[in-house]
Every structure is written in structure tokens, then in C-alpha cells.
Amino acid sequence: MDYKVYDDFEEMISDILRDLQPGVLMTRDRPYNGQKHTYEGESGKQLVEGLTKRDIADCIAKGFLSAYNNEAVQEAVRTGTWQYSDLYSKGSFDPIAGIQNAIYEIEQMCKKLKIKK
């Protein structure tokens, strides 16, 4: 992947702010210009093969549940007793953390199933 090297600090900040603005098109062809280890960076290019749709749905649900500020939900996630209905629990929710947690859960399932990168 090619990265732009900036000599002009203001140009760099301008590009960063442009990329972070609401309304930036979330198209599949947008650049992977986030931190290298995140889904917005180099790591985000990894294709996921070998998981079923249910596997991925479980990872998304568990990731979202991990982002709830609700002790009962957190306990269900820790003990593995969570259910899809827990997604309707009350408590504050951080959607960005939910996405990050879901990606983490997908990576963990790939490791558990020994799916190669």
C-alpha cells in the first residue's frame, strides 16, 4: 500500500479532517488509511474466509454486547451465557466500540478455527 508522505503539516491536518468528516462516502474502495493494526488500516484488508454467516452474526452480537455499559450484560458475555435478546438490554452503548469488538471477536474465531491470514 502506498502512503502519502507530508511535508506540509496543514495539508496533512486538512486531509485527516476531510477523511473524518461526517458524510465521507463509506464506499468499499475508500483507502485503508487508518492505524495499521485496525480495521481501517492495513489489517482491514484481510479477507475472512471459513466462517459461516452465523459465526459472523455471533461475533457481531458478542462485540456489540461487550460495548454495553450494563453489568448484567457484561457478566453474560464473560460467562458465555449471552443471548441475542440481550441486545435489547438497557444501558449506554458505544457503537464504535461495538464495531471494534466485533472485529476482535471475528479475529478470535478465526484463530480458534485455525483459519490462516
* Percentage of the residues of the chain whose pLDDT score is greater than 70: 87
Would you place residue 117 in the very low, low, confident or very high pLDDT band (cuts 50, 70, 90)? low
Rounded CA gap, 81 and 79, in Å? 5
Candidates 94, 103, 109; CA nearest to 41 is 103
pTM: 0.73
What are 46-67's pLDDT values in tens digits? 888 889 999 999 999 999 999 9
Rounded to 10 deg, the angle between the 71-79 and 53-66 helix axes is 140
What are 31-48's pLDDT values in tens digits? 888 888 888 888 888 888
